[in-house]
């Protein structure tokens, strides 16, 4: 597969804060299930700046993170990346509050022609974000379903791209 057809899945979140860990945990689960050719995963952790650089030159990027909106735990929101680009005011910005949504706006500015053409964000409504907690059962169940769904969709997409380039 050519470099410009590569797909990157980035899981964001804090492994020490319960359901906030869903992004990095789903990355490990996707690796266990097996990735199609040309699909790569990265643990974005809590470092938004790293997310911007990991996107360089990828055709498609999928970002997965937890959210807290007040909806039912396990609700999945699928949002086009451009709807979430948010360049914050430059006052008081530092690496500890620079998140992946900031990274989208920063990445578009920084990467220019190497910015991904297709970015999708999946947000999973969390239930428990306390320090020292593990992933809630409902969130783990939702994460597993999303992992299988993503891999099925990506396998079809990779096969379609391979057939089109043959």
Q: What is the CATH number of the domain that holds 144?
A: 3.40.50.1450
Q: For residues 122 and 62, is the Cβ–Cβ distance under 8 A?
A: yes
pLDDT digits (tens, 9 = 90+) for 10-56: 999 999 999 999 999 999 999 999 999 999 999 887 666 677 778 88
Question: What's this model's pTM, rounded to 2 decimal places?
Answer: 0.85
The whole domain housing 25 covers: 3-165
Quote the number of domains for the chain: 1
Q: Is the pLDDT of residue 110 over 80?
A: no
Give Cβ neighbours of residue 42 (< 8 Å, ≥ 6 apart).
Answer: 8, 9, 10, 11, 27, 54
């Amino acid at each position: 597969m050519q470099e410009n057809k590569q797909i990157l899945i980035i899981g964001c979140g804090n492994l020490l804060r319960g359901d906030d860990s869903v992004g990095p945990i789903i990355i490990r689960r996707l690796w266990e299930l097996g990735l199609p050719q040309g699909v790569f995963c990265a643990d974005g952790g809590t470092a938004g700046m790293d997310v911007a650089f990991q996107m360089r030159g990828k055709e498609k990027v999928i970002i997965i993170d937890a959210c807290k909106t007040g909806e039912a735990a396990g609700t999945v929101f699928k949002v086009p990346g451009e709807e979430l680009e948010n360049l914050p005011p430059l006052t008081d910005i530092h690496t500890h509050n620079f998140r992946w949504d900031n990274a989208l706006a920063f990445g578009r500015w920084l990467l220019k022609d190497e910015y991904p053409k297709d970015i999708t964000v999946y947000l999973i409504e969390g239930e428990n974000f306390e320090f020292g907690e593990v992933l809630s059962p409902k969130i783990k169940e939702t994460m597993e379903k999303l992992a299988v769904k993503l891999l099925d969709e990506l396998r079809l997409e990779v096969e379609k791209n391979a057939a089109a380039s043959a």
